[in-house]
A and B are shown apart, each in its own frame.
Chain A
C-alpha cells in the first residue's frame, strides 16, 4: 500500500518536473494599478491571451502597482537582477531608470520593425524616448494633454457667455474675476502641484524655456517669462478655492457648482460625466488658453513601455511592440476614451469620433512637456519643490513677480549645481 502510494507520488512528481521542463517562458509585465483592474484589466488580459496564442510557450504575468511601487520596484529590481521583463512607467522617471540600468536601449529592435509600424507613433512622443542618436529607451504608450473643464452653471450664473471659451490668459482672468464676484471659486490653487505650476508657465511664460540644460547644470527658464508666469499666481490668489488640482475636494467643488474651472488631464472626466448623468452637472472641456490668441497652455506627458535588458529581451520586445501596435491601442482608446501615443490609432474612425479624444489630440499638439528633456538627467527633487515653493511664496506676497523670478532662477541653478 505504502509502496504504491510512493510510486504514485513519484509519478506525480515526475509529471510535474516534466511539465516544468517544457514550461512556458514567463514574462513579468508590470503596469500601473489602474491598468490592472476592471475593464482595463480585462482588455490587458485579452492582449496577453492573443499574444500567448500567437507565441506558444510564452506566458505573461501581469502585475498592477501604484506609481511609487512601480518606480521603487524597478529600481530595486535593476539592483538585484529581478527586473520585470516589460513594464510601464512615466517619462518623468525615465532618467532614473536609465541611470540604474533598468531600461534596454531598444533602438536596434525599433529600427528592425517595418517603417509602417514606426510611423504609427506620435513623432514628438518617439523623440521623447530617444535622447540621442541611435538610442531609444521606450515605446510611448498612453499619455495626456491637459484640458480645461468648465462648469457652465457657475459661468452662466456669473454672466459669462459660455459659447466661446476664453482665448487668452487675459480673457480667462477676466472670467475668473467675474466668477469670484458671483461668490464662487474660479480655479484650484495652481501653486500646490508641480504640474499645475508648469501648466501656468505654459499659459503665460514661454514653453521653449521650460527645461533643464543638464550639461551646464542650469535651468532654461529666463527672468522675463518666469515673471509673467509668477504674476498669474498673484492674480489668481484671491480667486482660487484653496484646494490643489489633484484633491478630491476640487472635484467635489466642481460637481457641486462651487468651482468654475479645473485644468487637469482627461482622467477626471469619468467623474464629471457620472455627475452630469446623476446630478445634472453642466460642464464641457476646452483647450487651455495661452498667452495670446491661437496659442494654448497646459502640459502633456506620456507613460511608456520599457523592456528590461536580459535573457527575455527579445520576446519582451515582441510583446511590447504587440501591445503598443495600432490595433491594440485603438481598442484601448475606445474602451477608456483616452488619448494615447499611437497617432494612427487616434485616427481610427471609431476613435476619432470620441469627443474627449479629439480634444486631447488637439491639446497634446499645443501643450508643453512637463519635465523635458527625458532620459537625459534626473531632475532633482529640490528642482520641483523650489518651483512650487516659489510660486506659493509669490502668491503669498513674500516677493513680487520679478523678485520671485530672480530668486527662482538662482535657487533652481543652485539646486542643479549640487
Chain B
C-alpha cells in the first residue's frame, strides 16, 4: 500500500534519475574503472593497478600544473572576491539608472564568451601596440610581453580571470547586501561608526553565508581553470600551457593526455586526483565553517 502510494513520486523522479545515471554516474564509475587500466579508447583496457596514478603524480607537467594552480588560487580567489565586494558596495551605493548601469557594465564580462574575452585581452596585452602597453608607454614603462614573459604570464591570466568573474560574484554579493536590514546600519551610525567600520562590523558579518558560497565556488572554479589560459596561450591538444608551461593547469594537462597522447586511462586517473583535491578542499571549507559557526 505504502509502495503503491509512493509510486507516482518515484515515477516523477525516474526520468531525472535515468539521465543522471546515464550521463553522470555511469561516466564516473566507468572512468574510475579505466583509471586503473591502460586504455586508448579503442583497444581492450589492460589492468595496470595504480600505474596511471603514479605516472601522473611523478610527471614533470603535473608538478608544474599544480604549482601554477596553487599560486593562481592563492591570488585569484581572495583578489577576485575583494574586487567583487568593492564593486558590490559601489553599485549598492547608487540608486536608479546608475545602479542599473554599473550592475550591467560590471556583469558584461560574465556573459561574454570566453574566446571573445581571451581575444580582447590578447590584443590588449600585445607588446608595443596593445592597449596596456600603450598606457604603460605614456609613463615611460618599456613594452612588456605579458603573455610570453614567464614572469608576467600568470599575473596576466589572473587579471583576466578577476575581470571575468568579478561581475558574477558582484551580483551574488549585491543580493546579499540588499538583505542586510538597514536598521543595523542606522544603529551603527548612531553609535558613531564610520563607513569603513560599518563595512567591517555590519556588512561583512551579515554577508558571511553569501561570502562562504562565493569563496567556495571561487575555489572550485579556480581548481578547474581551463578555458581562459588555453585561449590566451593559443593551446592545442598537442601543445599547451604557453611559454615554458607558465600557464599550464591540471585540466589542460588532463585534456592533453587524453586527446593529444591518447592515454585515456592516465587522463581519467588525473581527473580523479583532481576530483579528490576538490572534494578535500570543499570538505575543509565546510569543516571550517562548521567550526566557526556558534553552536
User: Residues on A close to B: CB < 8 A?
Assistant: 67-68, 71-72, 75-76, 78-79, 92-93, 96, 99-102, 189, 191-194, 241-244, 246-249, 252-253, 256, 258, 378-382, 384-385, 388-389, 392-393, 418
Q: Assuming A75-B259, A79-B42, A99-B262, is B238 touching A93 (CB within 8 A)?
A: yes
Number of chain B residues close to chain A: CB under 8 A: 36
Residue of B nearest to A243 (CB): B127
Q: Are B148 and A243 closer than 8 Å at their CB atoms?
A: yes
**With the chains together, A258 CA to B126 CA distance in Å?**
14
Whether B241 sits at the interface, judged by CB under 8 Å, is: yes
Count of A-B residue pairs with CB < 8 Å: 103
Is the pair A380, B261 in contact by a Cβ cutoff of 8 Å?
A: yes
Distance to closest chain B CB from A53 (angstroms): 36
Q: Is the CB of B148 within 8 A of A242?
A: yes
B130 on the A face (CB < 8 A): yes
* B43: A residues at CB distance < 8 A: 100-101
**A389 CB contacts on chain B under 8 angstroms:** 244-245
B55 within 8 A of A: yes
Interface of B is mostly: loop
Distance of A83 Cα from B130 Cα, bound (Å): 43
Given A100-B42, A381-B261, 5 further pairs, Cβ under 8 A: A68-B236, A96-B260, A244-B148, A247-B126, A382-B61
Chain A residues whose C-beta falls within 8 Å of the C-beta of B240 in the assembled complex: 381
Chain B 244-280, CB-CB to A under 8 Å as 1, else 0, gives 1100000000001101111000000000000000000
Tell me which residues across on chain A come within 8 A of B150, comparing CB atoms: 392
Picked from B40, B129, B149, the residue with its CB within 8 Å of the CB of A100 is B40
Is B237 an interface residue when CB atoms closer than 8 A count as contact? yes
Q: Is the CB of A68 within 8 A of B259?
A: yes
B145 contacts A by Cβ under 8 Å: yes
The answer to whether B260 touches A381, judged by C-beta atoms less than 8 angstroms apart, is yes
B269: min CB distance to chain A, Å: 15
Q: Which of B129, B150, B237, B262 has the most CB of A within 10 A?
A: B262
B residues near A243, Cβ cutoff 8 Å: 126-127, 145, 148
Whether the pair B245, A75 counts as a contact (CB closer than 8 A) is no
Whether B41 is near chain A, meaning CB under 8 Å from some CB there, is yes
Name the contact of A78 in the complex, choosing from B42, B61, B243, B256 (C-beta under 8 A).
Answer: B42
Residue of A nearest to B149 (CB): A242
Q: Mark B33-52, 1 if CB is under 8 A from A, else 0.
A: 00000001111000000000
Indicate if the CB atoms of B127 and A382 lie closer than 8 Å: no
Please pick, from B40, B130, B237, B239, the residue contacting A72 in the complex, using a CB distance under 8 A: B237
B201 within 8 A of A: no
Query: Given the complex, which residues of B lie within 8 Å of A258, measured CB to CB?
Result: 128
| Closest B residue, CB atoms, query A95 | B262
**Given that A378-B262, A380-B261, A418-B55 are contacting pairs, would A68 and B237 also be in contact in the complex, using a CB cutoff of 8 Å?**
yes
CB distance from A200 to the nearest CB of B (A): 16
B127 & A381 in contact (Cβ 8 Å cutoff): no
Could you tell me if B126 and A249 are in contact, using CB atoms closer than 8 angstroms?
Answer: yes
A385 x B61 contact (CB < 8 A): yes
Instruction: Name 28 A/B residue pairs within 8 A (Cβ), A-sorted.
Output: A68-B259, A72-B259, A78-B42, A92-B238, A96-B260, A96-B262, A100-B42, A102-B42, A191-B243, A242-B127, A242-B145, A242-B148, A243-B126, A244-B234, A247-B122, A248-B126, A253-B128, A253-B129, A378-B262, A381-B238, A381-B260, A381-B261, A382-B59, A384-B238, A385-B61, A388-B239, A389-B245, A392-B150
Pair B126/A381 contact, Cβ less than 8 Å = no
